């Protein structure tokens, strides 16, 4: 039998492809293409002899490359192993066994599929940037690391914090929903070669008979993604540490060479950002310094996520000792012009033509045409077919989606299928084009383009009509806050939480059994009401001012809404890593979006009926729904966002009509979607902020509109946040070491309500009353008392009640302490 990790690869496709006639009808091609993505039902029919023959056919590997691959596993095996280890239910050896099995299956999958350049060291227990921090021994002093090889205890303390010290800052990885752990560096940072993971994993793959390309975060990108450690001047030049870390990179390279590596991949994604001359010069000096160390190795510099600016392209293609350059030609289509105008002779071009960030089947004919045009530039023997970026940003394997709609399924390709696409393109480029496979792909694309379920003319007209107005509320925020205070009668420094409460095992069981129709709707509603009642009672006992219902009915803040909107499809196992063990299952937006029925009104009314305190209606905003979904690629993103905004607008108005006085419209991902190039910021922020205003432009002055944002750098878009015109914004602040407050120290005036988070909910650590009080006082130094709210950084879904209750108790106690101090100071 084919191992589960190989199902869905080209090996399994061969028996079906052989059935296709040379010139089948369009309808038959569409039917056959759908059968390809249902290949899991046939995997047991391939006996070992057939499998060996298939592998022999694919033994000659074409010029194909994968930038990186999902590491959680097709059924989130790593997630469950990590959480079991963190809970003390399993050993480090148990965790390592799961990790070893996953790495082995991934490497074997790519090898058997015919991929020539297979990456290693892209697996991680938590984050690849944290892995680099471990490799360099750049452990902040507070973790009391004494040297040697960094173990799991220190590693996870940096990632998650522990009982005595907080975690390192976590922020978004470029413009994705993945989060990385931000290195904390300074002039006193002591570097040492403290994690041999890259070499160990290369040897591990080699022992399986698979020669891989070890992947390292490049030295310059590592420093540019870092921040000055606490106590270090913000003006400190992180690039001044280049000379301190390059010796360790040299050690790693030397060990990889000794182990037999012939290629090495340095990921330098910061090259796609706007860099100054000093930053670009750092790349030249770094790789000049590494040149002798990498002698005898083929060196690939990989970039991704955007076009590479002309000056950066010039710098990149002039670097010493570099053999190959990798480019994202999906989100960086303009890079094609640079390549065609000037590409260095004798160098390899790794062309990222298969989208690593979305789940739509590749347009193989178009990609092949692009590749053929690049052959003329780079040379036939120097062109390598690749993914646009790591496949970790897409779901793992379509084969696991046994319940997904057949027609929609035929339009998709997950990571395993993208590996097949890369190999098919490489073979076609080498003169071994699989005509049947390409024809079936073309038929699937035609099916999607012509499907009536994609287009809703009424929705398109409504969205088009939005362009004539900026959709602002009629009254300014100061007047609205006065009207709301008269109605809500809140104390100074009102306390609230962000929305979700812990999702217990029992709660997940109830939702799972209801979905499987093992319990009735009546039983389900009763169980959810009971949970809401518990959450309301806890908040009242804690004396929190503005309550939430805890969201027990919701599986995910985006998926929950998508399930009730038209134009969305859903997977069973389409999980994507967000951070650590946290995975999300992005909905698929395949068509025009509308709201057939109210989505949250019943539960919000139910919760409000249980208390006399204000109960927030909880919604996810249109920009976040967009940025946390796999979005259709057949129309501009802003058009889809406007459609979602109209759907949320109807929900807001229904909540208001139902008597909900405070409505929160989360835009956690607004900053995430900001383009990497400054020249593109204004256009994005214009339609993103407009989309948010559309949702609530029609409510009364007395209805208080909140929004929430988290885990990004917001300082550079603070004026756009103000332009959103929300009445109150709650925003992550504590995990980023109160970076947000600096913008107010610099003189930015904010007149709406604001709640910078007072403690990090992504760490199990419980903050003390004194610690929270200190944070509130720091906020009061730059914000007016009458606009400040007190709340955690983010929702409490991932925490346990044993952590939540004492943390919130301390939060309320700290708030009351400060209120008393303010009252006595009058």
Of 591, 586, 596, 590, the C-alpha closest to 620 is 586
Pairwise CA distance, residues 405 & 120, whole Å: 34
Q: How distant, in Å, are the alpha carbons of 4, 89, 208, 245 from that of 73?
A: 11, 20, 19, 32
- Least Cα distance to 432 among 60, 25, 7 occurs for 60
Give me the sheet containing 616-620, strands edge to edge.
Answer: 616-620, 662-666, 704-709, 728-731, 753-756
User: Could you tell me if 364 and 441 are in contact, meaning their C-beta atoms sit under 8 angstroms apart?
Assistant: yes
d(CA 288, CA 290): 5
What's the rounded Cα separation, in Å, for the pair 707 and 105?
42
For residues 698 and 654, the answer to whether their CB atoms sit within 8 Å is no
Residues 764, 799: contact at Cβ < 8 Å? Answer: yes
Rounded CA separation 249/741 (Å): 36
Rounded CA-CA distance 410/29 in Å is 11
What sign has the CA pseudo-torsion 674, 679, 682, 688? Answer: negative
How far is the C-alpha of 687 from the C-alpha of 575, rounded, in Å? Answer: 28
Which secondary structure element, helix H or strand E, spans residue 800, and what is its range?
Answer: none
* Order of strands across the sheet that contains 630-631: 566-569, 588-594, 630-631
C-alpha span between 302 and 332 (Å, rounded): 13
Other CB atoms closer than 10 Å to residue 57's CB: what's the count?
A: 12
Taking a C-beta distance cutoff of 8 angstroms, is the pair 236, 187 a contact? Answer: yes
Number of other residues whose CB lies within 10 A of the CB of residue 271: 27
Residues 65, 179, 690, 762: which is the catalytic one?
762
Residue that the structure tokens 């040149």 belong to = 291
CA atoms within 13 A on the CB side of 64: 25
Establish whether 762 is a catalytic residue.
yes
- Which residues are part of the catalytic machinery? 762
């Amino acid at each position: 039998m084919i191992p589960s990790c190989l199902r869905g690869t080209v090996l399994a496709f061969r028996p079906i492809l052989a059935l296709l006639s040379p010139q089948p009808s369009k309808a038959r091609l569409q039917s056959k293409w759908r059968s390809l993505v249902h290949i899991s039902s046939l995997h047991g029919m391939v006996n070992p002899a057939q499998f060996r023959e298939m592998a022999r056919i694919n033994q000659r590997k074409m010029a194909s490359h994968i930038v990186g691959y999902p590491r959680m596993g097709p059924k989130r095996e790593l997630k469950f192993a990590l959480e079991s280890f963190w809970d003390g239910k399993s050993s480090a050896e148990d965790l390592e066994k799961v990790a070893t099995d996953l790495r082995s299956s991934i490497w074997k999958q790519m090898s058997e599929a015919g991929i020539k350049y297979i990456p290693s060291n892209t697996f991680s227990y938590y984050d690849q940037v944290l892995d680099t921090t471990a490799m360099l021994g750049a452990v902040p002093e507070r973790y009391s690391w004494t040297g040697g090889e960094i173990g799991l205890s220190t590693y996870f303390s940096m990632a998650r914090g522990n009982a005595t010290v907080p975690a390192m800052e976590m922020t978004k990885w470029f413009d994705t929903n993945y989060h990385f752990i931000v290195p904390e560096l300074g002039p006193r940072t002591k570097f040492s070669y403290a994690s041999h993971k890259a070499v160990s994993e290369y040897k591990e793959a080699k022992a399986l008979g698979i020669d891989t390309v070890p992947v390292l975060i490049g030295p310059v990108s590592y420093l540019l993604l870092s921040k000055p450690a606490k106590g270090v001047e913000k003006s400190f030049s992180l690039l001044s540490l280049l000379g301190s870390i390059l010796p360790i990179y040299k050690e790693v390279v030397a060990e990889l060479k000794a182990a037999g590596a012939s290629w090495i991949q340095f990921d330098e994604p910061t090259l796609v950002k706007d860099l100054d001359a000093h930053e670009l010069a750092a790349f030249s000096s770094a790789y000049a310094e590494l040149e002798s160390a990498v002698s005898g190795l083929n060196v690939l510099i990989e970039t991704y996520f955007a076009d590479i600016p002309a000056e950066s392209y010039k710098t990149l293609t002039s670097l010493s000792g570099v053999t190959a350059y990798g480019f994202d030609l999906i989100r960086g289509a303009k890079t094609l012009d640079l390549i065609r105008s000037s590409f260095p002779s004798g160098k390899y071009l790794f062309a990222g033509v298969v989208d690593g960030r979305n789940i739509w089947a590749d347009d193989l004919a178009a990609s092949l045409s692009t590749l053929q045009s690049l052959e003329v530039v780079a040379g036939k023997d120097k062109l390598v077919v690749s993914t646009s970026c790591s496949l970790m940003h897409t779901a793992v394997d379509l084969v696991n989606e046994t319940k997904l709609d057949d027609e929609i399924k035929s339009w998709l390709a997950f990571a395993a299928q993208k590996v097949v696409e890369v190999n098919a393109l490489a073979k076609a480029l080498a003169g071994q084009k699989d005509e049947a496979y390409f024809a079936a792909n073309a038929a699937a694309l035609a099916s999607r383009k012509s499907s009536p379920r994609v287009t809703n003319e009424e929705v398109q007209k409504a969205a088009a009509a939005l362009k004539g107005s900026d959709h602002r509320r009629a009254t300014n925020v100061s007047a609205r806050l006065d009207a709301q205070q008269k109605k809500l009668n809140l104390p100074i420094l009102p306390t609230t939480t962000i929305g979700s409460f812990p999702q217990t095992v029992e709660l997940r069981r109830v939702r799972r059994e209801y979905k499987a129709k093992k319990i009735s709707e009546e039983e389900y509603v009763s169980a959810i009401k009971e949970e809401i009642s518990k959450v309301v009672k806890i908040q009242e006992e804690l004396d929190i001012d503005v309550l939430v219902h805890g969201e027990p009915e919701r599986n995910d803040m985006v998926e929950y809404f998508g399930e009730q909107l038209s134009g969305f499809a859903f997977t069973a196992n389409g999980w994507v890593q967000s951070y650590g063990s946290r995975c999300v299952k992005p909905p698929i937006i395949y068509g025009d979006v509308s709201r057939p029925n109210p989505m949250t009104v019943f539960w919000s009314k139910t919760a409000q009926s249980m208390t006399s305190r204000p109960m927030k209606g909880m919604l996810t905003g249109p920009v976040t729904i967009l940025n946390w979904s796999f979005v259709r690629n057949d129309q501009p993103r802003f058009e889809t966002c406007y459609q979602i905004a109209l759907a949320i607008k109807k929900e807001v108005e229904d909540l208001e009509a139902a008597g909900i006085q405070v409505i929160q419209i989360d835009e956690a991902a607004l900053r995430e979607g900001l383009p990497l190039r400054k020249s593109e910021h204004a256009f994005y922020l214009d339609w993103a902020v407009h989309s948010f205003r559309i949702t609530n432009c029609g409510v009364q002055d007395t209805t208080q509109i909140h929004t929430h944002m988290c885990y990004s750098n917001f300082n550079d878009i603070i004026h756009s946040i103000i332009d959103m015109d929300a009445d109150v914004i709650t925003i992550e602040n504590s995990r980023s070491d109160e970076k947000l407050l600096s913008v107010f120290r610099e003189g930015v005036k904010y007149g709406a309500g604001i709640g910078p988070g007072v403690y990090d909910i992504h760490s199990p650590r419980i903050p003390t009353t004194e610690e929270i009080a200190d944070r509130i006082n720091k906020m009061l130094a730059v914000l007016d008392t009458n606009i400040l709210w007190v709340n955690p950084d983010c929702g409490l879904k991932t925490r346990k009640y044993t952590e939540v209750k004492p943390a919130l108790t301390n939060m309320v106690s700290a708030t009351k302490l400060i209120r008393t101090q303010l009252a006595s100071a009058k």
